[in-house]
Amino acid sequence: MMNNLSCGASDGWPHQRLTAPEAVVLIVIVVTAAALAAFGLSTLSVILLIAEAGALGVRVLRQLRSTTEAGRAEA
């Protein structure tokens, strides 16, 4: 049977929209990075800050969502 998924598509990740607190955290990270850049932090440092904060946020979000889903399954 042929797989009709387009390149890069996956149905392994749950398609959940960001909640308001998650969106606020992302906005704070971007605004903080922009402020640091405006005050003289190098571009590379700002890019690294955003990348590391984003990676940490994704890991925490996955952990929280899996914990929440496990709690719902047990109830």
Give the start-to-end residue ranges of the domains of the chain.
20-74
Quote the pTM value: 0.52
pLDDT of residue 73: 64
Residue in this structure with the two tokens 């605004």, named with its chain if needed: 31
Q: What is the pLDDT of residues 22-73, one digit of tens each?
A: 788 778 888 888 888 888 988 898 888 888 888 887 888 788 778 776 666 6
- SS3 of the chain: the string is CCCCCCCCCCCCCCCCCCCHHHHHHHHHHHHHHHHHHHCCCCHHHHHHHHHHHHHHHHHHHHHHHHHHHHHHHHC
pLDDT of residue 71: 66
